[in-house]
Amino acid sequence: MGIWKQTAAQARNRRIFEIEFDDFLPRRIVDFHVHVFPRSVNPGRRPFSCAGHPLREYLAGDFFRDSARVYPGREVRGVFFGMPFQGWRQRANDLYVARACDCVHSFPVRLLDPATDSEERLRKDVAEHGFVGLKPYPDYVRGVARDRVRLHHMLPDWAMQVADEMGLLVILHLPRPGRLADPVNRRDIAGLCRRWPRARIVLAHVGRAYYLRNALIGLSPVADISNLWFDTAMLNNWEVLALLFRRVDPSRILYGTDTPIALAPGKSVEINDQYTYVTPVPWELSIHDSVGKLQFTSFLYEELRAIKRAVEETGWDGSFIEGLFFRNAMELLKSCVGSGKQERRKE
């Protein structure tokens, strides 16, 4: 285990788990937001910066070993997808994800690059490799300024036609600087869900609403869309989560972490209607504790703290907690009938 990983294998984190989480977490957990990638899919010399820690690969086996240390005594499952970067070997990453998943404990989601993919290949991959969903990403869009990317640039009609026909997940990383608070994004989300009602649209990171004002502006207009789900990956802000828990049908909220970054030491903080990360080592997305004043735990444990506080503030009970961490995800995954592996298991 690399020293950067913050898990209950370290005594101070074990104390956090025993005091704060052991009586709170259910016995079974599904992490709906996990990136896995073998080193062969990154053709460059520069490793992935995992919150400032160089990472050459993160495999499915690493996730299950780490989960046993993060959540002692729990059965953990995961929804896996690759690293959505231009220049990385998307095809190889997708095939690795498919091979690593059994659609029982791990579920494969396919990256989608509209510039290199095709409808024929997508249909074939879903049928042959059992993908339960698609993962588009703003970084795959070419020829459009980053702050002007729209959902239709990330998701061409042919891809959504496949997702709708097969009942696939579409896990969205919202573009544009305003994220969920951007009215263009909200109109596009509503239009996507209305036009393709059998697709299961998931807003990753609660639509990237990492600070409260963004959620106050953006959440309510999309909260009642019946084929729209929300994952909680990397949310460290309990007020955003409390708003989510109050406003959205509980069955459409999914626990996710953004592992492997979530295993790194750090915290997301809100400052004057903005957010940033604070980390013990330099990272291009963070403020760095250069004097070593702070003792950190993982982003993941900070996520759990925020979830627990939000549950306490909203008064939800054990059934809500079990749904958030396990039941909602499993019911959604079972409904993704486009998975070839799921169909083969029925035969």
Q: Give pLDDT tens digits for 20-34.
A: 999 999 999 999 999
Indicate the pTM of the whole model: 0.96
Question: What's the total number of domains in the chain?
Answer: 1
For residue 38, what is the domain's CATH number?
3.20.20.140
Strand pairing partners for 101? none
Within a domain: 62: yes
pLDDT of 344 higher than 90 = no
Within a domain: 131: yes
pLDDT score, position 3: 75
Q: Give pLDDT tens digits for 317-340.
A: 999 999 999 999 999 999 985 544
Residues of the chain above pLDDT 90, percent: 95
Domain span holding position 112: 11-264+296-346
Mean pLDDT of all residues belonging to the chain: 96
pLDDT score, position 1: 40
Within a domain: 288: no
Within a domain: 290: no
Within a domain: 162: yes
Within a domain: 254: yes
pLDDT score, position 346: 39
3-state secondary structure the chain: CCCCCCCCCCHHHHHHHHHHHCCCCCCEEEEEEEECECHHHCCCCCCEEECCEEECCECHHHHHHHHHHHCCCCEEEEEEECCCCCCCCHHHHHHHHHHHCCCCCEEEEEECCCCCCCHHHHHHHHHHHCCCEEECCHHHCCCCCHHHCCHHHHCCHHHHHHHHHHCCEEEECCCCCCHHHCHHHHHHHHHHHHHCCCCEEEECHHHHCCCHHHHHHHCHHHCCCCCEEEECCCCCCHHHHHHHHHHCCHHHEECCCCECHHHCECEEEECCCCEEEEECCCCCCEEECCCCCCCCCEHHHHHHHHHHHHHHHHCCCHHHHHHHHHHHHHHHHHCCCCCHHHHHHHC
pLDDT band (50, 70, 90) for residue 44: confident
Across 247-263, average pLDDT: 99
pLDDT score, position 71: 99
Q: Give pLDDT tens digits for 143-194.
A: 999 999 999 999 999 999 999 999 999 999 999 999 999 999 999 999 999 9
Within a domain: 157: yes
pLDDT score, position 106: 97
Q: Give pLDDT tens digits for 51-84.
A: 999 999 999 999 999 999 999 999 999 999 999 9
Within a domain: 279: no
Q: Which of 33-47, 63-77, 236-250 has the lowest mean pLDDT?
A: 33-47
pLDDT score, position 347: 34
Q: Give pLDDT tens digits for 210-229.
A: 999 999 999 999 999 999 99
